Chains A and B, each alone.
Chain A
Amino acid sequence: MMNRGGITETLAPPGTNSLEDRHVVDARHGQPSSYSTSTAGSEASSWIPQSVNNSFTGNGYSASSTYGYEQQTQPPRRDDMNGATEASSLSLGSTSVPQDYNGYMTYQNPTNSYGYGTTGYTGYYSGYQQQTNPSYSQPAGAYQSTSSPYQPVSSFQNTGSYPVPPSYSNSYYGSGDYQTAGTYPNSNYSTQTTWNDGNYANYSTYQYSNYPSTTSAYGSGNSAATSVQYQPQFKQWTDYHAPSEVSCAPGMENLSVASSSNPACPTPGVPNGTQASNSQPPPTAVPSWRPEPGLSGLPSQQPSVVAGAGHDNYWKQHAAPGFQNQNSAAGQSAFYQPMESKNAYGSYMDEQRSTSDQGSNLQYPVVHQAPQIHQAPQQISPALDPRRGSRVQIQTNPRIVSNLALGLTKTEKAGSGTTAAAKPAYIGVSLPKPSDKAMSDDASDPALKHAAFPKSLRGYVERALARCKDEAQIATSQEVLKELITSATADGTLYTQDWDAKPLFPLPDMDGLSNTLQTPPPLPTFRRSPGRRTKSRWEPLPEEKSVNKMPPLMTEPVKYGGYMNDRNRKPYVGNSESKDGLNTKNFLTAEQKTGSFQKPFKRQRLSDSLTTADNGDASSDSDKESSLTAFYSGAIGFSNTPEERKKRERRSKRFEKAHGNRVEINHFKPKSAVSANLYARRATAIVLSKTFEESGSKAVEDIDWDALTVRGTCQEIEKRYLRLTSAPDPATVRPEEVLEKALTMVQNSQKNYLYKCDQLKSIRQDLTVQRIRNKLTVKVYETHARLALEVGDLPEYNQCQSQLKTLYAEGIEGCHMEFSAYNLLCVILHSNNYRDLLSSMSRLSNDAKNDKAVKHALAVRRAVTTGNYVMFFGLYRTAPNLNSCLMDLFVDKMRYKAVNCMCRSYRPTVPVSYVAKVLGFAYASSVNGGSEEKDSVGLEECVDWLKAHGACLVADNNGEMQLDTKASSSSLYIPEPGGAVAHGDTSLAVNDFLTRASS
């Protein structure tokens, strides 16, 4: 880092300008439209030479810078951008570096906003989509969209990130070169890059958030060159990954995300020997990246950049896989693919394994991310990845909060150590897989990923993709999803998050989509790798347990990402500005703020969005710093605008929630060792949210309580019901898709009611715990209510009925009429309160009154209130649904009343056959015109019943049984219930219940 720093410093001065230029270029790249890349190209080349490491760090920066640029770029060219920035920042023209900074500052500010935006979608949405749409368009939109759900988390991060900006600025200053280098790659990647950047921004934000806690630890401890390097690398990687999406990028991403930490660790060394890295997965990855960005990527990019119109070219190239491919072809390509694949795979594998072992979610996510990245190019797979990314992000937030301390240290250490070690083997594995996967279609990758991912995530991805109208949208969505998932992986929230509840990100605009689409094509290689990765992910799942180390790694990766950023920034600061970095940072932040304010206006929304992205990165850095210093908090003040945005975003989120969308859950899944902290995390989450609010001056109402909802990770379909005595453990809670399966399983089960009831209760519990209230919930309750009715388990039925009442009231579809009929019957038959009956009757809508089941229920009521037993048993015969089950419960009472009535009014006798017919003992006969067998059965039953109730039976001359009404009228009584038990509730008599249930 020092070296780098030095380099950067030296470079910085010129670099800054160049950086700016580059940024501009990058922006242009991102924006495709007008980029005079000439400078960029040259700069890029120079940058590349400067140092791969730098480039890495730079990449991270670059990404951010790119964002800024992009924003600027929208205007068009670098020059323009610069001019604009200058104008806005006042001093831009004056001091190259300062200017750069200013630019950065502004960018950062925007970035901050971005960070917010990411976190706070508002910024993104408004700025991004609008602004971005043009250039970033889809990607940005995607990001935005993704970010939107994430927002809560991201917002946190953002806050953290705010302070960070200074660091960025520092880094920018010092590492102008770095940045440029990074930028270049990014710029080269251009659109994709921007996307990635966006992702990165998210990552960084996440990381940032992590950082604050981690950072403090890290910053101090990790400040070590290695750590620094790692971070930079990671950042770079991330950036690369994201931006470069290019094959290299994927690898990078992989590394960065899950293994990123690992790669990063190795990377320091790795960077040097790219090929060597092949042996060492992480290293390889790094090298590959470097080559890409620096060598192949830069060159290619530069050309394109130079072309100015080149953006299109770039795009095309990307589309044609040219960039990445080209790069790889350049010789890097070899590296790339192998490297990437290997690295990625290795990392993936490692990650996956580790992930599986640990709260491996993180790792998985990482893996996913890598694939995603790769896929990102590809439309389909990208989508998945984005999702993963998003998840990762989300998860990260919570995790960050809780894990901050734990995760940071662990991740770093574990990440570095384990990853490096494991990687080789993994690499080997991964490589093959990649190829295979590569072979397989993108779809295969997604599928693979799906397997590895939580079902809910899959569902989420499917939902996200399902609404896409065309390929462009799909591609964009995939990008977004990729980011989402990557971030989620990084955060470790991949599995914890409630994807079902998570609102879908807004669909990116078509324009943006088209851009994204273009980008994807270049990534064929990536696809392969993703595919492989996905497979690997799947495979790893079982292996989760195996690697304990992996979990730490996984967490680390996420943290690393953050660290990387932080470190990068810090290193930069340290390097470039040396120890004054903090101060400078502070200044920078201040400047940035001011600058940002200025620029945003000038730059317009687009620029804001771009800046936001930058800010995202910067913010992450700033987060660390903020946590470190009070200054940052002061600096945060700048973020007022961003905060406001966050607020707005939150509010809008809330609306989304209100609409039934659920915001992601911040809870991490504590499957692994990390999980032990679940409760602590929650607590921390709350505290954090509070602190955030305080720092951000957010209203208490903005606390995202939904964030504290559990998201299950359990994949078991069968689960026994156990009344909770403590907060639910996500590891034992099943997510929605699993619950769906469980429901079908119960419905098709041949086992007795006790078993089904138990299963359904556990399903209900999982639903409640996860606050899932949708059609599935209704279905579960309906199923249970029907089952309970069939066996006469009224207490259970009543529970379901009352839940259904509120669920229907919320407008969730179900068999509303059927159950309002049941409800009516219940009131009629089991309540002596006419007021209840009246109110339930008066509440019936006209529609309901015309419903068959409800009509039947109303007729039953009439029969009951008038004591018309003939009518009652007639209705009993024709009862729809399970109405007869409820009527069953009233049959005895009705029969007794009827016999009483008959005994009073009939003289001298009534044939028992008539009684049996009228009182429903032999109803089959009346329907079928009399199967005598049934008749006789009904008759016998009737005789038994009459005798049991004290009726006097006599046989007439024909031997027909007659009810002696006069004699019976005084002798009728209601017998003691047969199965009477001491506690008075026969349903509690287990034996009896079992026989009933099993019958």
Chain B
Amino acid sequence: MAAYLSMGEAHRRITDYLARFSDAVASQDVASLKPLLSLSSASPSLVSLADALNLLQDSNRLIKQSDRYSQFAEILAPLFRCLQNYRLHNLVDAYPAYEKAANAFIQEFRNWDSAWALEALYVIAYEIRVLAERADRELSANGKMPEKLKAAGSFLMKVFGVLAGKGPKRVGALYVTCQLFKVYFKLGTVHLCRSVIRSIETARIFDFEEFPQRDKVTYMYYTGRLEVYNENFTAADQKLSYALAHCNPHSEANIRMILKYLIPVKLSIGILPKDWLLERYNLVEYSNIVQALKRGDLRLLRSALEEHEDRFLRSGVYLVLEKLELQVYQRLLKKIYIIQKQKEPTKAHQMKLEVIIKALKWLEIDMDLDEVECIVAILIHKNLMKGYFAHKSKVVVLSKQDPFPKLTGKPVNA
């Protein structure tokens, strides 16, 4: 409100907005409708409108003065209230008003046969999530229970219900689903994703490929992450790879987010990334782990895990990375095997437990006989090593043919 705002000007701005809104709806012009709903865009027209609304408090009268506007009063009145609060940075009050307007909007949307307003609905779904997140931040800053995002989640579920049926509106379902994923991941209630996923994946009437590209990528990213939680690496690899392949190559941030999960998944199926990839997308926290895998350096792996424990725990890949330990053991034993082969090719397939313990000692890892025996047993059991262990003589007898099979895209035998 840098400049003085006259009542007349305020009045003009409000009526102008009302006219634009009703015209856009009447002509089904979604392009001009979208900016009218986009709260977070902070477009100059919306800001000036908010100022006008804060000056001219009886905007409801303006809405009601004409039938053209009053038919949308249920949308516009709360929307104005929301704009006012938003302008005053009162997000906690802005949210419920926006939700009310959004509710009224989907009522209207339901009545429209065509999906012309889908884009506007996207805007609403996005705005409501972002607004809820910000309102929650405000709430928790004030020491109150953040609850808006949860409310946004249930509202979006309602929107999903409007879109998920058959017909042209179904195209929009995936966008809402992705917004829901974001909400659920943020809230930590990822189990709620399941019902949405089921509804997307079981409805064969609608081919997944017909969804918009960006939604598909987002969807794959989130479902891929869910698979990481479930340690279902094959599926995770497939979904995350899809996301990576279809992601806009220019949005590096998104690529990085995908790689953050894809790299651990790939590691656990025995595929190591190139160093340049880690550097390019600033994923250096993985580089030491990759090094450890290459060298069979158990100590390096452990220190890398410890160093970034918090980060890995938060992103949820800690357990995945921790399981790489077996591969490091495998690499270590393989190295011992290679050395033995060089020295004494005939007895190379017989590996004494003492040798392994010695090697571990060099790595400053102190393990007793039983533990190493156990590790060896597990390696054999998990098919990371072919052969058997002779308990009596404490010797690992390796298969002469490919004693250390590569994973090559298959996860470690669970």
Contact = CB atoms under 8 A, between A and B. Distances in A.
Interface in B271-312: 310
A866 B328 CA distance: 13
A909 interface: yes
Contacts of A866: 322-323, 325-326, 378
Central interface residue in B313, B319, B377, B388, by most chain A CB within 10 Å: B377
Nearest to B376: A905
B377 A902 contact: yes
A865 B323 contact: yes
A859 to B, nearest CB: 12
B316 interface: yes
A766 B222 CA distance: 47
Interface string B316-339: 101100110110000000000000
A868 B391 CA distance: 17
Interface residues of A, number: 31
Contacts of B310: 842
B190 A905 contact: no
Contacts of A900: 381
A841 B379 CA distance: 27
Interface stretch (B57-65, B73-81, B99-107, B367-375): B367-375
Contacts of A914: 391
Contacts of A833: 229
B325 A910 contact: no
A841 B381 contact: no
Contacts of B230: 834
Nearest to B391: A910
B322 A865 contact: yes
Contacts of A983: none
B378 to A, nearest CB: 6
Contacts of A906: 377, 388-391
B231 interface: yes
Given A865-B323, A904-B380, A841 B318 contact: yes
B229 A867 contact: no
Interface string B383-413: 0000011110000010000000000000000
B contact face: mostly helix, strand, loop, or mixed: helix
A837 interface: yes
A901 interface: yes
Contacts, number: 77
Given A842-B310, A907-B390, A862 B322 contact: yes
A729 to B, nearest CB: 34
Nearest to B371: A870
Contacts of B397: 907
A895 to B, nearest CB: 13
B319 A837 contact: yes
Interface in A303-361: none
A905 B322 contact: no
B381 A904 contact: yes
Contacts of A553: none
Interface size bucket, B side?
20 to 34
A838 B313 contact: yes
Contacts of A917: 370
A918 B370 contact: yes
Contacts of A871: 371, 374
A869 B379 CA distance: 13
B380 A905 contact: yes
Contacts of B190: 835
Interface string A249-275: 000000000000000000000000000
A206 to B, nearest CB: 37
A125 to B, nearest CB: 26
A991 interface: no
B309 to A, nearest CB: 9
B188 interface: yes
- Interface of A (DSSP majority class): helix
A842 B314 contact: yes
B76 to A, nearest CB: 32
Nearest to B377: A905
Contacts of B370: 870, 917-918
Contacts of B316: 834-835, 838
A220 interface: no
Contacts of A792: none
Contacts of A841: 313, 318
B229 A835 contact: yes
A834 B231 contact: yes
Contacts of B325: 866
Interface string A810-853: 00000000000000000000000111011101100000000000
Interface string A878-918: 00000000000000000000001110111111110010011
A871 B373 CA distance: 11
Contacts of B381: 867, 900-901, 904-905
A917 B391 CA distance: 14
Nearest to B372: A870
A865 B314 contact: no
Contacts of B318: 838, 841
Contact of B391 (A838, A865, A909): A909
Contacts of A869: 374
Nearest to B373: A870
B312 to A, nearest CB: 9
A868 B389 contact: no
A834 B323 contact: no
Contact of B371 (A865, A868, A908): A868
A874 B367 CA distance: 12
Nearest to B313: A842
Contacts of A862: 322
A861 to B, nearest CB: 9
A901 B377 contact: yes
A902 B318 CA distance: 28
A901 B188 CA distance: 36
A915 to B, nearest CB: 10
**By CB atoms of chain A within 10 A, which of B374, B379, B390 has the most?**
B374
B391 A901 contact: no
A866 B325 CA distance: 9
Nearest to A833: B229
A835 to B, nearest CB: 5
B236 to A, nearest CB: 12
B378 A901 contact: yes
A107 B325 CA distance: 83
Interface in B20-77: none
Contacts of B374: 868-871, 918
A865 B388 contact: no
Contacts of A834: 229-231, 316, 319
A910 B377 CA distance: 12
Given A905-B388, A906-B389, A838 B188 contact: no
Interface in A772-786: none
A867 B377 CA distance: 10
A378 to B, nearest CB: 46
Contacts of B371: 868, 870-871, 874
Interface in B206-243: 229-231
A905 B371 CA distance: 14
9 pairs of A and B residues whose beta carbons are closest in the complex:
A905-B380, A907-B388, A842-B313, A870-B374, A905-B377, A901-B381, A904-B381, A835-B229, A870-B370
Interface of B: 188, 190, 229-231, 310, 313-314, 316, 318-319, 322-323, 325-326, 370-371, 373-381, 388-391, 397
Given A906-B389, A918-B370, 17 more contacts: A838-B318, A842-B313, A866-B323, A866-B325, A868-B374, A869-B374, A870-B374, A902-B377, A905-B378, A905-B379, A905-B381, A907-B389, A908-B390, A909-B391, A910-B391, A914-B391, A917-B370
7 contacts: A866-B322, A867-B381, A870-B371, A900-B381, A905-B381, A906-B389, A907-B397
